[in-house]
Amino acid sequence: MKLGIVGLPNVGKSTLFNALTKAGAEAANYPFATIEPNIGVVNVPDDRLKVLAEISNSEKILYTTIEFFDIAGLVKGASKGEGLGNQFLSNIREVDAIVHVVRCFDDDNIIHVDGSVDPIRDIENINLELIFSDLEQIEKRLSKAEKQAKSDKKLLPEVELLRKLLNILESGKPARSLELNEEEKKLIKNFSLLSYKPIIYVANVSEDDIADDGKNNEYVQKVREFASDQGDEVIVISAEIESEIQSLDDDEKVLFLEELGLDRSGLDKLIQSSYKLLGLISFLTTGPMETRAWTIVRGTKAPQAAGKIHSDIERGFIKADTISFNELANSGSMAAAREKGLIRSEGKDYIMQDGDVVLFKFNV
């Protein structure tokens, strides 16, 4: 799963990306991350793993990860192929969701490309490039589909959806603001629209504004209003502070966060929200060798979850011995949980839940 970091020049994207890379997962486990300088692989923070590792006396803990992709180079007119515009748009096409960094700090020493700090103007500038690019694609598709639908009535639902999309995009709104039925949700996936991708706004603020989560920062208030109108989320971060935090060791980190009045870092908030935005959950495995979190899409059934570990386990799937993390943690040990009859034996139709601790049984 890959998230793309976008934003105008000088808003703090590289600073944020550097913080993410510093926080990066151990490179040895993810060799590709060191080859691609613009991809940062980060652990998804999960406090449950430490508890489980203690219960099982595990040698190591392996977090699950997500990837952030630094997408630089947006300029006005990108959708018309200006600057590195086309490259920029095709990079966005490859990601599952967008992290849009918006400048919400004043600093006369740092030039704003449009001359002043105005987060809503900035957001609209970028969103419009995505909308223009989608519009062009939808117009082409629509005229083709309309012709084909004359002889093939099966295409009528597609034509209808394309017309709705055309309307909403022409009104300057992103495709994701359109309400869709189940059939339309399936159809729209074929169009790979940029403005349909889920989005999180990151309001980049100065150090003074993080303790109260930007409540006294007017720019942040405006971004919050804008985002909530479209049903999107805002995370308040100081990219510079995050970068400093990531240079500290674990004990220093806790102290520094306390001084700032925070219970967790902005990066942790961003990573956890991104995970949720993508509809992802984790199931957990634990033993003396390792305790580990695995990523699945919400709604995944037990055999396909097993397939994340190894395709052989999916193929030979018999059952999944399952207990929720909370029940196991409360019991104190696997043996105690078993005695209480808390370990369920789930079959191939079981839909995995977030925090399920699982042992798969399978035929080899």
Q: Which residues are annotated as a binding site for ATP?
A: 10-15
Closer residue to ligand GDP in complex, CB, 202/357: 202
Among the listed residues 206, 185, 183, the one whose alpha carbon sits nearest the alpha carbon of residue 196? 185
**Tokens representing residue 184 in the block:** 């339309």
Instruction: Count CB atoms within 10 A of the CB of residue 56.
Output: 19
CB of 115 to ligand GDP, least distance (A): 16
Closest to ligand GDP by CB, 16 vs 161, is: 16
For ligand GDP, the binding residues in 80-119 under the rule CB under 6 A are 105, 107, 110
Candidates 13-21, 81-89, 270-278, 329-337: pick the segment binding ligand GDP (CB under 6 A): 13-21
Structure tokens at 153: 């009535």
> Contacting ligand GDP (CB under 6 A), which of 240, 268, 314, 356?
240
- Does 270 participate in binding ligand GDP (rule CB under 6 A)? no
Q: Which residues contact 88 (CB under 8 A, 6 or more apart)?
A: 71, 72, 73, 74, 78
CB of 220 to ligand GDP, least distance (A): 12
Q: Binding to ligand GDP by residue 202, rule CB under 6 A?
A: no
Residues recorded for the chain: 364
DSSP secondary structure of 10-34: TSSHHHHHHHHHHTBPPGGG-THHH
- Reduced to 3 states, what is the DSSP secondary structure of residue 210? coil
Choices 12-20, 214-222, 289-297, 313-321; region in contact with ligand GDP by CB under 6 A:
12-20
Q: Is residue 350 near ligand GDP by the rule CB under 6 A?
A: no
213 lies in the site for ligand GDP, by CB under 6 A = no
Smallest gap, in angstroms, from Cβ of residue 107 to ligand GDP? Answer: 4
Count Cα atoms within 13 angstroms, Cβ side, for 203. Answer: 32
Q: Give me 360's structure tokens.
A: 């798969």
123 binds ligand GDP (CB under 6 A): no
Stretch that binds ligand GDP, among 10-18, 301-309, 315-323, 329-337 (CB under 6 A): 10-18
Q: What are the residues facing 6 on neighbouring strands?
A: 100
What is the CA angle 197-198-202, rounded to 5?
120
Question: Total binding residues for ligand GDP by CB under 6 A?
Answer: 16
According to the binding rule CB under 6 A, does residue 239 interact with ligand GDP? Answer: yes
Q: Is 46 exposed, middle or buried (0-12, 13-18, 19+ CB in 10 A)?
A: buried
Tell me which residues touch ligand GDP (CB under 6 A). 7, 9-15, 105, 107, 110, 204, 206, 238-240
